[in-house]
Structure 1
Amino acid sequence: MLNNLFSVGGKNHRQLAPLFLRMAIGFGFMAHGWAKLSRGPEAFAQLLTLIKVPAPQVLAWVTTLTELTGGFALFVGALVSLVAIPLICTMVVAMFSIHIHYGYSAVKTIGLTPHGPLFGPPGYEINLIYIAGLISLLITGAGRFSIDALLAKTKTIQ
């Protein structure tokens, strides 16, 4: 019955799943990378200094560029298996160096003002979701609607 749900007109639409996963995760990484870049990686380096990360200026730039370029590559489906690894690493480092101290939940309402809710620091929930999505893409590949798929078709034609 589920197979019929994903088949319309004899075509299997399961290949849409990696597309949506890539777009959501890729956009998320690009947004985080852009936020770091627009504030200046030096501001992120200050955070890294506070948590005693070695070479904070270098790693601030590496992280920023990894999130921007890796996020874009995911979004368009280019080199997905390659870019997923450093993106997983950034999530693991962020999870164990910052977010783990705040518990699991990514959303913690700590108060309410006339302008809306106040939120506490996020836990590691989002890190785990990103890691799970990236592992899923490592297993399934970028899918039919990706640059990786176009490159694979080009190689088989030649």
Structure 2
Amino acid sequence: MNTIPSLYQKTVDCLHHADGLPLLALRLYLAPIFWIAGTNKLAHFEDIVMWFEHGLALPLPWLMAALATWTEIIGAVLLVAGLGIRLISVPLIITMLVAIFAVHWPHGWQAIADPGSFAPNENAAEAAKRLNGFLGWLKLNHPGRYNYITEFGKPVILNNGIEFAATYLVMLLVLFFQGAGRYVSVDYFVGRKLLKK
């Protein structure tokens, strides 16, 4: 009977050496998301400033756009390297909070309008009905275009809710509290060197 707890403890002890891998996975998952978001902002910077000013009514729109852009670009690079992860997590968390409350909050939870998924808003059922109606009409009247549009996947209606931003926020919170990960980050080796001094 004592062998099950003993086996469990040995397994946990072995897994302890690989506990940096899930943190590496989080970093590598988030890095391209922030890189793409940041470089897209940089490529269309004046449009982003205008949107921050007139669409979101944020104060100091040029400064806010610059901070968001460079936080995402620099954050992506640091996430890949595993360098300064707790520090860069703070401005990335702030960026996600701004995105959640200034951009996505009015649309509810869902990123994609789906009445059968978790927490659909009041428009999800109507959005699905309209999309299905349009696709049915397209298939009946223009089968070639229908096949062209649906060839690589099912079309969806973007709901633009907080789902993705909230998920990234949770991932960043894990990185803030756990760090970059043992053996798989610059932070780990820098920390070891500092402890030896």
Structure 1 and Structure 2 fold alike (TM over 0.5): yes
Q: Quick one: distance in 2 between partners of 1:154 and 1:27?
A: 29
Aligned counterpart, 1:148? 187
Q: Per the alignment, in what secondary structure is the counterpart of residue 7 of structure 1?
A: helix
Aligned counterpart, 1:74? 79
2:52 pairs with 48, 64, 89, which one?
48
Tell me whether 1:119 sits opposite 2:157 in the alignment: yes
The structure whose Rg is larger is: 2
Tell me whether 1:7 sits opposite 2:38 in the alignment: no
In structure 2, the CA distance between the partners of 1:6 and 1:46, relative to structure 1 (3 Å rule), is farther
Aligned counterpart, 1:135? 173
Q: Quick one: distance in 2 between partners of 1:137 and 1:128?
A: 14
Runs of 4+ in 1 over 4 A off after TM superposition: none
TM-score, normalization: structure 2? 0.71
Q: Per the alignment, in what secondary structure is the counterpart of residue 98 of structure 1?
A: helix
Q: Quick one: distance in 2 between partners of 1:125 and 1:2?
A: 36
In structure 2, the CA distance between the partners of 1:124 and 1:44, relative to structure 1 (3 Å rule), is same
Q: Quick check: which one's helix share is greater?
A: 2
Letter in 2 for 1:130: Y
2:96 pairs with 84, 91, 95, which one?
91
Q: Quick one: distance in 2 between partners of 1:3 and 1:43?
A: 56
In structure 2, the CA distance between the partners of 1:44 and 1:2, relative to structure 1 (3 Å rule), is farther
Which consecutive residues of structure 1, in runs of 5 or more, have no partner in the other structure?
none
Q: Deviations over 1:27-66 (max 9, x none)?
A: 211111111112x211111211222111112211111011
In structure 2, the CA distance between the partners of 1:64 and 1:6, relative to structure 1 (3 Å rule), is farther
CA contact (8 A) 1:107 1:119 kept: yes
Shift of 1:121: 3.6
In structure 2, the CA distance between the partners of 1:57 and 1:121, relative to structure 1 (3 Å rule), is farther
| Percentage of identical aligned residues | 27
In structure 2, the CA distance between the partners of 1:4 and 1:90, relative to structure 1 (3 Å rule), is same
Tell me whether 1:104 sits opposite 2:109 in the alignment: yes
Q: Quick one: distance in 2 between partners of 1:52 and 1:125?
A: 22
Aligned residues: 155
In structure 2, the CA distance between the partners of 1:31 and 1:24, relative to structure 1 (3 Å rule), is same
CA contact (8 A) 2:112 2:156 kept: no
Q: Quick one: distance in 2 between partners of 1:64 and 1:124?
A: 20
